[in-house]
Amino acid sequence: MLQATGLWAHLGGRAVLNGVDFHARPGQITAIVGPNGSGKTTLMRRLTGDLTGPGEVTLGGDPLARLSPRALALRRAVLPQAGTLGFPFTLREVVRMGHQAGAAAPEPGIVEAALDEVGLGAKIDGLFQDMSGGEQARGHLARVRAQVWHPVQEGRPAWLFVDEPVAALDIGHQLQVMAVLRRFADAGGGVIAVMHDLNLTAMHAERIVLMEAGRIAAAGPPAEVMTGPLLSRAYRCQLCLNTAPEQGIWLLPHAASLG
């Protein structure tokens, strides 16, 4: 269980998070959605311990502030919204760094398996910087997967924090990446994903947290959060949702309009 209470964040002279309470369960995908600038990345940075401030975050009952970087690295991996790489490392070397960071003793075959999972096995010895944008995004995902390869480690769930994991991907690879996160959660790990694609979110997330101007506007299962009034208010546009229950929830983008 990941639990956070009363999180505040002040950046650039103003409050970006206003006393946010948040929780996420292992075995589930918890999605954080909301418009640009609503504080999703900031909330994630508080949850991963990148940013400190008022409020407390506990991971499996342990206050985040009391875990060393190394101890944290064994229990959670983080995929930032944007990635960089300073030197010409190969894909294999980058993913291996991730695995070495999260494993007390590195296991053979995991680097290859993590790359196969995102469909990059054939490029393993290519230079990371020579790959396309979407391939680099999947390469980074393979790196964080390799860091917490076992969704449950010594009886404790591992956590994946991913900030817009499908933003740069085509529809096929979007589904592939969501399937990677799904399998991780189904095997007992916890996933916290910042998402912009509401249809993918509705398909995969057990719980959706909708943010609006540094506050949580709504949180709950897709059926509760994915409603016309809530979404229209948060995103400041008219959205049309399919309401036939047997078909699941989906947005009709062509029926959306500003105003």
Partner 1 sequence: MTAVPLRAAAAPPHRLPVAVVAIGLALLLAVAALASLSLGASGLLPWEVILRDTTPAERAILFDIRLPRLILGVLVGAALAVSGALMQGLFRNPLADPGLVGVGAGAGLGAVIAIVLGGLLPVTNRAMLGAYLVPVFAFAGGWAAVLILYRVASLRGQTSIATMLLAGIVLGALAGAVTGILIFVADDNQLRDLTFWGLGSLAGANWTKLAAAAPILIAGLAAAPFLARGLDAMALGEGVAQHMGVPVETVKRGAILSVAAMTGAAVAVSGGIGFLGIVVPHILRLAVGPGHRLLLPLAALFGAALLVAADTVARLAVAPAELPIGIIMALIGAPVFLWILLARRAVLEV
Q: Which residues bind ligand ATP (CB under 6 A)?
A: 11-12, 16, 34, 36-42, 81
Does 89 participate in binding partner 1 (rule CB under 8 A)? yes
How many C-beta neighbours within 10 Å does residue 194 have?
A: 23
Among 12, 109, 172, 259, binds partner 1 (CB under 8 A): 109
First to last CA, the chain: 39
Pick the binder of partner 1 from 147, 185, 191, 211 (CB under 8 A).
Answer: 147
What lies within 8 Å, CB to CB, of 179 at 6+ separation is none
DSSP 167: T
Nearer of residues 81 and 232 to ligand ATP, judged by Cβ: 81
Binding residues among 113-142 for partner 1 as defined by CB under 8 A: 115-116, 121-122, 124-127
Which pair of structure tokens corresponds to residue 187? Answer: 């095997």
State which of positions 190-229 bind partner 1 (CB under 8 A): none
Chain centroid to CA 2: 14
Least distance between partner 1 and beta carbon 49 (Å): 8
- The stretch near partner 1 (CB under 8 A) out of 28-36, 54-62, 86-94, 230-238 is 86-94
- Among 47, 74, 193, 225, contact with partner 1 (rule: CB under 8 A): 74
Choose the contact partner of 23 out of Mg ion, partner 1, ligand ATP, none; CB within 5 to 8 A by kind: none
Pairing state of beta strands 207-212 and 29-33? parallel
Query: Which residues here bind Mg ion, judged by CB under 5 A?
Result: 41, 81
Q: Quick check: 83 binds partner 1 (CB under 8 A)?
A: yes
Please give the DSSP secondary-structure letter assigned to residue 180.
Answer: H
Cβ proximity to partner 1, 123 vs 204, nearer residue? 123
Check binding of 103 to partner 1 (CB under 8 A).
Answer: no
Cβ neighbourhood burial of 88 (10 Å; 0-12, 13-18, 19+): exposed
Q: Is 107 in the site for partner 1 (CB under 8 A)?
A: no
Cβ–Cβ < 8 Å for 156, 60? yes
Do 74 and 154 meet the contact criterion of CB atoms below 8 Å apart?
no
For the beta sheet containing 62-63, the strands, ordered from the edge strand earlier in sequence to the opposite edge, are: 14-24, 2-11, 56-59, 62-63
Residues in contact with partner 1 by CB under 8 A are: 48, 50, 68-74, 77-78, 80, 83-90, 92-94, 97-98, 100-102, 109, 112, 115-116, 121-122, 124-127, 147
